[in-house]
Structure 1
Amino acid sequence: MSQHCDASGADSGDVISVPHRLLRRRVRDIASGVEGELMAVVREDVSDDPVRERWVVLAYVRGPSGREISTAVANIGAV
């Protein structure tokens, strides 16, 4: 399954950090309506088949409760 990037942003397996202009800024996920801080944008292999990779770009948003949600990066907009 997926591994996380280390503090330097280097990938440690099948997750790669992606730069984004809204990192550490207040954003809204249009799919769920959650507002919070954009914590990370990553390119992640979500395939459950080791032979066939399926890469997606995900955004991680920390909401007011402190819990992070993931969503498609296309769903993120500045507040």
Structure 2
Amino acid sequence: MHEAVPRPFEDLPHELLRKRVRDIASGVEGELMAVVREDVSDTPAREHWVKLAYVRGPSGREISTAVANIQAV
């Protein structure tokens, strides 16, 4: 029997992908590059998944933030 290997993340669709957004937590404005559901579990026995947004700011660096922190600009 084959066990499925869990993926550490999963890409999610989002209406603001490739659009200009602001991260309300940091104030960074940029392009929403990806939204993922990411496994941040510390042990296999206790799964913990979060939804993160990746925003590319004016410097070209990407930051991650909670999806709830994203606003269209």
Q: TM-score, normalised by structure 1?
A: 0.83
Equivalent in the alignment of 2:57:
63
- Structure 1 segment 26-65 matched on structure 2, within 5 A: 26-65=20-59
2:38 maps to a residue whose letter is E
Pairwise CA distance, 1:33:
0.0
- Give distance in 2, aligned partners of 1:38 and 1:66: 12
Question: Which letter does structure 1 place at the counterpart of 2:72?
Answer: A
CA deviations 1:23-53 (Å, max 9, x no partner) are 0000000000000000000001111112111
- The runs of 4+ residues in structure 1 deviating greater than 3 Å are none
Which has the greater radius of gyration?
2
Seq. identity, %: 79
Alignment gaps of 5+ in structure 1: 1-11
Identify which of structures 1 and 2 has the higher relative contact order when contacts are C-alpha pairs closer than 8 Å and 6+ apart.
2
Find the aligned partners of 1:70 and 1:49 in 2 and give their Cα distance: 22
State how far apart, in whole Å, the 1-side matches of 2:51 and 2:18 are: 17
CA distance in 1, matches of 2:7, 2:37: 11
Unaligned segments of structure 2, at least 5 residues: 1-5
Structural RMSD (CA)? 1.1
